[in-house]
Structure 1
Amino acid sequence: MPADSAATPSPSIPLNGRARAHIGDHPVYRALPPDTRRRLLAEGTEIELRSDAPQPLDRDHLWFVLSGVLGAFPADSEVCVAQVVSGAVYGWEHALGFSGSAAQVRPVLDVRVFRVPATAAREALGYDWLARFVALQAVQRLTFLEQEAACNASHRVSERLAKWLLRLHLGGNGAPLRLNQAQLAAMLGVQRTSINAAARSLQAMGGVRFTRGKASILDVPKLTAGSCRCGATH
């Protein structure tokens, strides 16, 4: 799975604009032992982060994503190498006391997160449980990166763009995609002219509409048809 994601989005987490999701709706939180849930609830804080937030997430906390999407970016790069979506968690390695990847994690879409001190998570869950879980995450992350490398080498920019738009749309539970074409080009690591051509192709199919600073998903099946579907979760 991308970055430190721990689960696919839960249908119980409402779409953007409906009733606000609570930490009690989060699928990973619900799966934890009752004593652990009570400890994390007592020490955690719900906060909102805008997509233009300049600072990356710190490594002193465990971050439960309630809505929106986080992205992982290598230092001094705008290429997004992984996403942490609604219903997932970032920071398991930090809870173990490891620094983890050097990538900076920050919002791609506006997000609401439940932030828990990493030390509290480690004390509540235990080192052995966390160590086994992080080992599993490492294997899943390697598989994801292998899939992405193969995708980048073999598929057209329009197919990759469609895949990323679907990931953001579904991973953010339908939250508005306030991303311009320059940002999308940087995230995918391609030229702006390539994104322009890909955007025109996807718009002609009727799957998406691009306006200034925003991508609106019009038809998920049509956008899916134009996607390479690598690592598809839909």
Structure 2
Amino acid sequence: MPADSAATLPPSVPLPGRPRAHIGDHPVYHALPPDAQRRLIAEGTEVDLPGDARLALDRDHLWFVISGVLGAFPPDSEVCVAPVVSGAVYGWDHALGFSGSGAQVRPLLDVRLFQVPAAAAREALGYDWLARFVALQAVQRLTFLEQEAACNASHRVSERLAKWLLRLHHGGNGAPVRLNQARLAAMLGVQRTSINVAARNLQATGGVRFSRGKASILDVAKLTASSCRCGTTD
């Protein structure tokens, strides 16, 4: 389903077993001027989506990721080209009235989002501020995609899998990575058999355990040692 034609999202329902974060915990929101904060609070609403939701975020809102991880997917593809982690915001270009890249953005892990109508965000933050921020983000996005292309061409599947598991672990603030190996294979754009071999190799290091559609991170240091570490900073 294209992101700009996504159906209306369901109302916020607390996800079981998770401490309830809220928009006041979000670092970007927290850094905004008080007037902008008040406007966003007045116009926005919180939404929870489970990790297996197939609903793409629409382009009529600015989305603050309070907890969990989203993934960006090219249209009609299951290959994940970028994570959108907790503490990030998706849809800055939409707030400026641009259509964006056309990617479908949907949950990878359980997510709590704060959605603000794009027009309200533009009025609260100002067009000039948004334009400068979007220009900076465009440069960062291009750099990330260049790194990913080089990584995909030069590193083993096990190294790339370890990298993505760490991204999900850190981006979701340690939330369980509830993704089966078939979905991980689709995300990385490789065969299921390649993921099976990579998962066995990573499990043998003691850094992660795979069971019943879940990856449990046992030792971050060991998993990091098995990762290609592309796009990470020490």
Identify whether the pair has TM-score above 0.5, normalized to the shorter chain. Answer: yes
Cα displacement (A) at 1:188: 0.3
Offset at 1:97?
0.5
Map 1:31-42; keep pairs closer than 5 Å. 31-42=31-42
What's the offset of the Cα at 1:53?
1.5
Q: Is the 8 A contact 2:54 2:107 kept in 1?
A: no
Q: What is the CA deviation profile of residues 131-173 of structure 1, one whole-angstrom value per residue up to 9, with x for unaligned ones? A: 1110000000000001011111111100000000000000000
| Partner in structure 1 of residue 67 of structure 2 | 67
Equivalent position SS for 1:66: strand
Could you say which residue in structure 1 is the equivalent of 2:198?
Answer: 198
Counterpart check, 1:136 vs 2:145: no
Over the matched positions of the two proteins, sequence identity in percent amounts to: 85
Cα deviation, residue 54, structure 1: 2.2
The secondary structure found in structure 1 opposite 2:100 is: coil
- SS of 1:129's equivalent in the other structure is helix
TM norm structure 2: 0.91
Q: Which has the higher contact order (CA 8 A, sep 6+)?
A: 1
Q: Is the 8 A contact 2:49 2:110 kept in 1?
A: yes
State the alpha-carbon separation in 2 of the partners of residues 90 and 17 from structure 1. Answer: 25
Question: Is residue 96 of structure 1 aligned with residue 96 of structure 2?
Answer: yes
Q: Distance in 2 between matches of 1:189 and 1:54?
A: 18
- Residue 185 of structure 2 aligns with which residue? 185
Instruction: Tell me how far apart the structure 2 counterparts of residues 47 and 217 of structure 1 sit (CA, whole Å).
Output: 27
In the TM superposition, residue 233 of structure 1 has moved relative to its aligned partner by 4.2
**SS of 2:141's equivalent?**
helix
1: distance between equivalents of 2:55 and 2:20?
25
- Which amino acid counterpart does residue 164 of structure 2 have in structure 1? W
Amino acid at match of 1:128: D
Q: How does 1:27-176 map to 2 (within 5 A)?
A: 27-176=27-176
Equivalent position of 2:210 in the other structure: 210
Query: Root-mean-square deviation (CA), in Å?
Result: 1.2
SS at match of 2:77: coil
Q: CA deviation at 1:50?
A: 1.1
TM-score (norm 1): 0.91
Contact 2:85 2:172 survives alignment (8 Å): yes
Deviation at 1:232, TM superposition (A): 1.1
Distance 1:87 1:233 in 2: 17
Hey, what's the Cα distance between the residues in 2 that align with 1:104 and 1:159?
26
Hey, what's the Cα distance between the residues in 2 that align with 1:214 and 1:44?
Answer: 33
1:185 partner amino acid: A
* Structure 2: 5+ residue stretches without partners: 1-15
Worse-matched range after superposition: 162-171 or 16-25: 16-25
User: SS at the partner of 1:37?
Assistant: helix
Q: What SS is found at the alignment partner of 2:228?
A: coil
Unpaired segments ≥5 residues, structure 1: 1-15
User: What is the Cα deviation at residue 55 of structure 1?
Assistant: 1.6
